[in-house]
Amino acid sequence: MAVTIREVAKAAGVSTAAVSKVLHGRGNSVRVSDVRAAHIREIAESLNYRPNAVARNLRIRRTHAVGIIFENFGSFANGPLYYMHLFEGVGGVLFKNHYRMTILAEIAHDDVLSSLGDGQLDGVVWCKLTRDPESLALIHSCPIPIVAMNAPAPTVPTEAVFVSCDNEGGIDLAVQHLVALGHRRIAFLYERQELDTPDRQARLEGFHDAMKARTGVDATAEDVLEWDWLLPEFSGWWAAKPPHTAIICWSERTAGNLILQATSAGLSLPGDLSIVGFDSTQYCETTTPRLTAVCQPIYEMAAAAATTLLAMIDGMPPIQSSFTFPCTFDVRDSTTTPRSPLNAENPS
């Protein structure tokens, strides 16, 4: 059907080796004179020759394709924008380097497993955050180079590379910001979830550390709110007149939902309650008030992941087995000085 390299060779009166060399310039033991090269190019053009990449991939044992796997493909559009940024960031680097990106949807776990070893992918970027044993096993025994985003740090020696942000440091920025505004009683909020994720865990730990460090007082159990998202827990909590003047949410969406609940419960934001989110995307601009949030350098992280992966594919051993990026902090409109600042605790 399609024109093959053999037909081009025949039409040009040369060997397939010559055509291959001229058109793709790889073999270094093949030499072609300039005159012939030009002729070959001409013939190929006139025959409208399109090289078959599959055959080439088979021979050179490389496809220039990288897989990317998410735990939540299928609910991307309704989920946090974080994933989309990650997706774009990784894609950008890959495309610039003439790699393609293939989505690995985890319809079945076995599908993923066999995808990784079937020769169609040169490497994988792993964007699943859950720490289920199967995923971990897969990461640690992946037959091709793999970089894991925000995944749990390795406990056993592995060839995988891990990229994440400094979750603890990010939460510390949030606490610092609130303390500077005059807040002292600060809560940390997350939704009840089936599977724990390492980033949520890290942020919770960061909260405890930061509270101790910045206020001098240990956070207590009542400072950690674990809510089932569908229930109107907010109203009950608020009605009980909690001592908190600010809430740090473990994620952007959590913060957004909190804003909605607080607003519909009649609170005036940020006066009645300061709210901080984690992950600073376009979404933070669309809430009312606009959401103050910790910002992961997602594009840098994605670029580091992709760049490292490509280096690994090229056979270079990774410089580091894990990369951790510092967070920044984006102040918007959802935080302000507490209604009754230091007075409550320290009347002047």
Partner DNA sequence: TGTGTATGATTAATCCGTTAATCGCACTTC
Partner DNA sequence: GAAGTGCGATTAACGGATTAATCATACACA
* Site of interaction with a second copy (CB under 8 A): 2, 50-55, 57-58, 63, 65, 73-78, 81, 84-85, 87-88, 91-92, 95-96, 98, 100-105, 107, 111, 114-115, 117-120, 143, 256, 281-283, 286-288
343 binds, among a second copy, DNA, none (CB under 5 to 8 A by kind): none
**47's tokens:** 């025959």
**Where are the alpha helices (H) located in 48-166, listed in sequence order?**
53-60, 81-96, 109-117, 133-140
Among 2, 77, 221, 230, indicate the residue that binds DNA (CB under 7 A): 2
Number of residues lying near DNA (CB under 7 A) = 36
- 8 versus 104: smaller Cβ distance to a second copy: 104
Please choose, out of 2-10, 169-177, 190-198, 200-208, the segment that lies near DNA by the rule CB under 7 A: 2-10
Regarding 47 and contact with DNA (CB under 7 A), the answer is: no
Decide if 269 contacts 334 (C-beta within 8 A). Answer: yes
326 binds, among DNA, a second copy, none (CB under 5 to 8 A by kind): none
Decide if 212 contacts 246 (C-beta within 8 A). Answer: no
211 binds, among a second copy, DNA, none (CB under 5 to 8 A by kind): none
Regarding 74 and contact with DNA (CB under 7 A), the answer is: no
CA distance 258 to 243: 17
Please choose, out of 47-55, 209-217, 257-265, 333-341, the segment that lies near DNA by the rule CB under 7 A: 47-55
Regarding 5 and contact with DNA (CB under 7 A), the answer is: yes
Decide: residue 161, CB within 10 A, 0-12 exposed, 13-18 middle, 19+ buried.
buried
CA distance 333 to 29: 65
Burial 24-45 (b: 16+ CB within 10 A, else e): eeeeeeeebeeebbebbbebbe
- 91 versus 206: smaller Cβ distance to a second copy: 91
Phi-psi region of 150 (alpha: psi -120 to 50; beta: other; left: phi over 0): left
Decide if 199 contacts 167 (C-beta within 8 A). Answer: yes
Q: Which helix (H) or strand (E) holds 286?
A: helix 283-286
Q: How far is the CB of 134 from DNA (least distance, A)?
A: 24
CA 342 to chain CA mean position, Å: 39
Regarding 33 and contact with DNA (CB under 7 A), the answer is: yes
Is the four-CA dihedral 290, 291, 293, 295 of positive or negative sign? negative
CA distance 253 to 81: 9
Regarding 296 and contact with DNA (CB under 7 A), the answer is: no
**172's tokens:** 């510390």
- 105 versus 213: smaller Cβ distance to a second copy: 105
Please choose, out of 55-63, 213-221, 231-239, 246-254, the segment that lies near DNA by the rule CB under 7 A: 55-63
103 binds, among DNA, a second copy, none (CB under 5 to 8 A by kind): a second copy
Regarding 23 and contact with DNA (CB under 7 A), the answer is: yes
101 binds, among a second copy, DNA, none (CB under 5 to 8 A by kind): a second copy
Residues forming contacts to DNA in the complex (CB under 7 A) are 1-6, 13-18, 20-21, 23-24, 26-33, 35-36, 49-52, 55-56, 58-61
